[in-house]
Amino acid sequence: MSRLVVVSNRVALPAEPRAGGLAVAMRAAMRESEGLWFGWSGKRVRDASGALHTLRDGSLTYTTMDLSHEDFDHYYNGFANRTLWPLLHFRLDLVDYRRDTYEGYYRVNALFAEKLAPLLREDDIIWVQDYHLIPLGQSLRALGVGNRIGFFLHVPMPSSDLLAAMPNHDVLFGALSSYDLVGFQTERDLDRFQSYTRLYGGGRAFADGRMRSADGREFRAGAFPISIDANLIARQAEAAVTRASVRRLRESLGSRVLAIGVDRLDYSKGLPDRFRAFEHFLDRFPELHGQMTFLQLAPVSRSEVPEYQALRRELEGLAGHINGRHAAPDWTPVRYVNRDFSHGVLTGFYRQAQLGLVTPLRDGMNLVAKEFIAAQDPHDPGVLVLSRFAGAAAEMHEALIVNPYDLDGVADAIARAHAMPLEERKERWRTLFRRLQRHDITAWRRKFLEALTA
Ligand code: ADQ
């Protein structure tokens, strides 16, 4: 059996305490035969980029690479997170395009290729992850790598006219044709990529998933919605009820209903709009005051990027404003927490909640929506309020689907979820959970790798 080589910006080393579902899935895939996981070491060094570190764990090898401060700033803080991230989340207003960070991004991708190529064996299958590494396939091909290479985009693919606003968009997105298979989260993302290729890339898309680039390279593209280990999360959540932090949360609520939001502190997640929608809910349903607590967990992310610092200030202001207007001596409507929790504890928090608020303005998939469902108590499940702009909405019709820009609509959904009879909650939850069991993270990676090796 061929070895699987996974390449991603960050590598979850075996001892990492907070390795998420994706890390677990990747490890399982690499263990099925033999595996190599290659990526940035997490270290920024004063001297030149490129020093490698290797760690072995059974049949799995982890090789990571240091980056210089300048390379990291250009590639990660710069082009990946200030140009591509907003662009791919439909936020042209936040796109900051600079030639030096664009060049730094290419330089680091070329370095990834240069360091990875000598480690490759002839029959390795290579799987590149996400928007940090779009041109990596092309850089590997330039070094003569003829292996099967797949690429998966975890974030959305926006409409062609948005993509076309970025200088050099044709160079960057045209580079996707160097892969044998390009995977997207949903059919809509795939569709938008196909129309981009037709309208701006000079290429063609055929009905069977085959595509042809302007220079005649044949490749394939498909939709592979990512998922979670639904059964594992269900077990974790059930076991978590006895954990001290979960018990303390339950006791602190008294008889109140809990609404929960869990997101990286990121403008794509629509947190200010969610806070405002919750305020609309409080304004419009005064009879429910004191009956619901909204807990938002939002660990700080990308704190070196100015847009993220501004968002943090905005949310602190909003939480203070809502609580100032509505709190009572014995009730704080919004609890806003910037901390990370272990996954086990998090699943226990989900299970305590009668409402899950997942209202991103754009999201490739959104695994929190899926985790919330998997963590529910089958005898008394909570209700998911889900943005139609999360990739997950394409598979989760039984959630209460909302438009996150429509604050009154979200407020209505919160009230509806609060009042939903047990039978209806159970019915919706059962269908959602069964679907998650069928389309879990193992099914996701198998489907992608089968398509790549077919
Ligand atoms: P993210 O934007 O990070 O992922 P998401 O899919 O919701 O978004 O995954 C977040 C993960 O972090 C979840 O597993 C969640 O449990 C965890 N998490 C969040 N807050 C936490 C906290 N306070 N403590 C501990 N864990 C926390 C990107 C894309 C998504 C896509 C995924 C996977 O932006 O659209 O779904 O990749 O492809």
- Burial pattern 191-212, b for ≥16 Cβ within 10 A else e, equals bbbbbbbeebbebebeeebebb
Q: How many CB atoms lie within 10 A of CB 280?
A: 17
Residue located nearest, by CA, to atom 38 of ligand 1: 154
326 with 333: CB under 8 angstroms?
yes
Q: How many CB atoms lie within 10 A of CB 378?
A: 11
The whole-number pLDDT of residue 18 equals 61
Q: Is 363 a catalytic residue?
A: yes
The whole-number pLDDT of residue 232 equals 93
The whole-number pLDDT of residue 1 equals 82
Question: Quick one: how far is CA 279 from the chain centroid?
Answer: 27
Q: How many CA atoms lie within 13 A of 247 on its CB side?
A: 4
Are 4-227+441-453 and 230-438 in the same CATH fold?
yes
C-alpha 81/C-alpha 268 separation (Å) is 12
C-alpha 124/C-alpha 50 separation (Å) is 22
According to CATH, the superfamily of the domain at 4-227+441-453 is Glycogen Phosphorylase B; (3.40.50.2000)
The whole-number pLDDT of residue 19 equals 60
CA of 264 to the centre of ligand 1 (A): 7
Strands 52-57, 60-68: pairing is antiparallel
Q: Is 74 a catalytic residue?
A: no
CA of 205 to the centre of ligand 1 (A): 31
E strand intervals along 322-421: 334-337, 355-358, 383-387, 400-402
**Fold type of domain 230-438:** Rossmann fold (3.40.50)
Give φ, ψ of 88 to 5 degrees: -75, -15
Going from N- to C-terminal start, the domains of the chain cover 4-227+441-453, 230-438
DSSP-assigned letter for residue 2: P
C-alpha 116/C-alpha 398 separation (Å) is 44
C-alpha 311/C-alpha 295 separation (Å) is 18
pLDDT tens-digit profile, the chain (454 residues) = 899 999 999 998 887 766 666 787 788 788 888 999 999 999 999 999 999 999 999 999 999 999 999 999 999 999 999 999 999 999 999 999 999 999 999 999 999 999 999 999 999 999 999 999 999 999 999 999 999 999 999 999 999 999 999 999 999 999 999 999 999 999 999 999 999 999 999 999 998 999 999 999 999 999 999 999 999 999 999 999 999 999 999 999 999 999 999 999 999 999 999 999 999 999 999 999 999 999 999 999 888 888 999 999 999 999 999 999 999 999 999 999 999 999 899 999 999 999 999 999 999 999 999 999 999 999 999 999 999 999 999 999 999 999 999 999 999 999 999 999 999 999 999 999 999 999 999 999 999 999 999 9
| Closest ligand 1 atom number to CA of residue 392 | 36
- Nearest CA among 101, 79, 118, 29 for reference residue 450: 29
The whole-number pLDDT of residue 135 equals 98
Strands 125-129, 4-10: pairing is parallel
Among the listed residues 180, 263, 266, 363, the single catalytic one is 363
371 with 436: CB under 8 angstroms?
no
With a 6 Å cutoff on the Cβ, whether 414 touches ligand 1 is no
Residue located nearest, by CA, to atom 23 of ligand 1: 340
With a 6 Å cutoff on the Cβ, whether 264 touches ligand 1 is yes
Residue located nearest, by CA, to atom 33 of ligand 1: 154
pTM here?
0.97
Residue ranges in 50-126 assigned as alpha helix (H)? 69-72, 85-88, 99-116
